[in-house]
Amino acid sequence: MEILNRLPKTAKFLFCLSIICMSVNAASQSFAAALIRSNFASSITSGSMAPVWVAQKRGLFEKHGIQMQFILMPRAPLAIAALMVGEIDMAVVGPGHLLNAAFGGADIVGIGNFFQKLDYRFSGRPEIKTAEDLRGKRIAISGPAATSHIIAMLALQQLRIDPNQARINFITIPGTEMNRRIALETGNADATTLRGAVGDIYGRRGYPVLFNFAGSGITMPQTMMVTTRRIVASKPHLIEAYLKTIIEAIAYLFDPANKETSIRIVASNLRLNNPAEQEEAYQSVLESLERVPYPQLEGMKRLHGVLSSINPKLVEIRPETVVDEKPLRELEKSGFIRQFQKP
């Protein structure tokens, strides 16, 4: 201390500043060390991912103890494969992939589902005026049993079009909804499914909505949080942290006080610049987003029925074996969810 007193004022200031910086750095390193490192993947880029986008932007993963590395996969099966080899702990995929993986012997399970109400538009190219115009045409899907494939099949059922009799060709456009939008615009596909407000926006741009699921009353799980039973058993605190993060992100989206920020986050990820379209996309998310994201066994049974018509071998899989509501139910019993439910 005597040596410090002999130093000039400037030197004293720099010395104290260095001590403060070292302390802050040590505290920062300690905080980072306390976080659980975890890889999280998805191939989805539609508004279905809004809770994840909000959680990333608002630091909610870190708040709940996760140092999360997000990986955008080109296809959902790659996310499933990464789960199985332990490269990632969690993924968001269409639940059809969950059933297919289970049929292949994967020990995979759905622990949460963001959307149950179907808010899709089955949209065609400008020259496709009616359902009859789809005969002999190409429908873009992101892959067999993907949500886009299932929704397209449901739309054709509602339109009373048998895809085999109508010689409809389902073409795989790997990757995200954005890729299917491009295929529709460039004429590489004649029709596809678009989520929520994006489908309405394309409708106003001259791409007819051949079937609108909004208000149809048809429900089915669409955006499933999946992991392995091994991870559920060996990393219960991580599973709880993921669920807490998503639940708080959902509450953030629904809170009117956060509307401006939420719109900005959703719009930037959907690449929407028009304020009216941004508002529309945000409202579309709120209309279908589950406040408490249970995996919804009944919805999985309905989905299982649709997929079994595509792949009869899937009848061997029991839907109740691929969902686990227990982690979310335990979290609800703890009272954590109640704090986000306004009276």
Hey, which residues does 138 pair with through a beta bridge?
169
Residue whose C-alpha is closest to residue 319's, from 300, 337, 338, 296:
300
Residue 267 in tokens? 């719009």
Contact in structure between 319 and 279 (CB atoms under 8 Å): no
CA geometry: angle 196, 200, 204, nearest 5 deg: 165
pLDDT < 70 stretches in the chain: 1-33, 342-343
pLDDT confidence of residue 141: 96
pLDDT confidence of residue 249: 98
pTM over 0.85: no
Residue 328 in tokens? 């979310």
Helices 50-57 and 259-270, interaxial angle, to 10°? 110
Q: Where does 120-212 sit in CATH, by number?
A: 3.40.190.10
Q: Which DSSP helix (H) or strand (E) runs through 9?
A: helix 9-34
pLDDT confidence of residue 10: 53
Residue-wise DSSP of 263-313: HHHHHHHHT---HHHHHHHHHHHHHHB-SS----HHHHHHHHHHHHHH-GG
pLDDT confidence of residue 26: 44
Q: How far apart are CA 43 and CA 91, in angstroms?
A: 9
CA geometry: angle 267, 273, 275, nearest 5 deg: 85
pLDDT confidence of residue 27: 42
Q: What is the CATH architecture of 36-115+221-281+290-340?
A: 3-Layer(aba) Sandwich (3.40)
Residue 142 in tokens? 């992101």
Residue 201 in tokens? 């926006």
**Would you give the DSSP letter of residue 235?**
-
Q: Is 279 exposed, middle or buried (0-12, 13-18, 19+ CB in 10 A)?
A: middle
The domain spans of the chain are 36-115+221-281+290-340, 120-212
Residues 227-284 pLDDT 10s: 999 999 999 999 999 999 999 999 999 999 999 999 999 999 999 999 999 999 999 8
Same CATH topology for 36-115+221-281+290-340 and 120-212?
Answer: yes
Helix (H, G, I), strand (E, B) or coil at 216: coil
